[in-house]
Amino acid sequence: MDLELNHSFSLYSVTLVVLLLIFSCTPAEGNFRVIGSPETIVAALGDDTILPCHVEPQIDVTGLTVEWSKPDLKPDPNDRLRRVEYVHLYRDAREDLDMKIAEYVKRTELFADGLTRGNISLKITNVTFEDEGRYQCFIPKLKSHFKSSIIYLYVAPKSVTTETPLQTPGPTEETDVNGGGLSMRNRLITGVCVSVFLMILLVVGAIYVYWRHKRQKQEVRERLFLYFLNV
């Protein structure tokens, strides 16, 4: 009986450790960060450009609201309601055009395949001089204290050669300057957590098999004892 209690207690203890490990490896509120390009994005007049922005650690943001705005843009004095307007507003898994700045209609888009990885970069087509300025990417319901980031766009004359890449940007080490290298750190943390979890899972399985074996032997002994007792 004492042996059975000891094994039950060991199984309970290991299970508790596994649960604590799972919770400790789960990103807590405040660990997520919205990270934009720390460098000025240079685009030539009339070209297409991308304003890089993503969430670290990577999460699926398809179900969240993503707001792209120009914080320095003055509200329209003729608008009595003083409505907030956006460069691009992604809400309910689609673009919301009701509150979009007229000058950006049909000129902006997010990368649908990148949203599942936390990529909220904005593509702007046919860049104009009026597009120049500060842009803010913002996820209102992100469980973090770092829900937004500022990216600056500079529009150069057409004769100036720019080096802004037009491929879909993803979370890279180069864009993690403000994040302190979170990509590599989180990969290491995830790898360690998975390895330790699998190791503990094997230990729990071994303890359970051993306990079952002991329990079966104990049951056989009890049955034999009762059998000879009744003979």
Q: What is the pLDDT of residues 89-139, one digit of tens each?
A: 999 999 999 999 999 999 999 999 999 999 999 999 999 999 999 999 999
Residues 160 and 204 in one domain: no
Last residue of a domain, one of 178, 197, 219: 178
> Which amino acid is it at 71?
P
The CATH number of the domain holding residue 105 is 2.60.40.10
Q: What is the pLDDT of residues 34-47, one digit of tens each?
A: 999 999 999 999 99
Residues 111 and 141 in one domain: yes
pTM above 0.85, yes or no: no
Nearest CA to 17 among 200, 173, 219, 180? 200
Host domain of residue 148: 33-178
Residues 156 and 200 in one domain: no
Residues 59 and 131 in one domain: yes
Give the count of domains, the chain. 2
Pair type for strands 41-44 and 148-156? parallel
Q: Where are the beta strands (DSSP E) in the chain?
A: 33-36, 41-44, 49-51, 53-56, 66-69, 88-91, 94-95, 108-110, 122-124, 133-138, 148-156
pLDDT at 183 over 70: no
> Which amino acid is it at 31?
N
pLDDT at 195 over 70: yes
Q: What are phi and psi of 56, to 5 degrees?
A: -125, 135
Residues 67 and 88 in one domain: yes
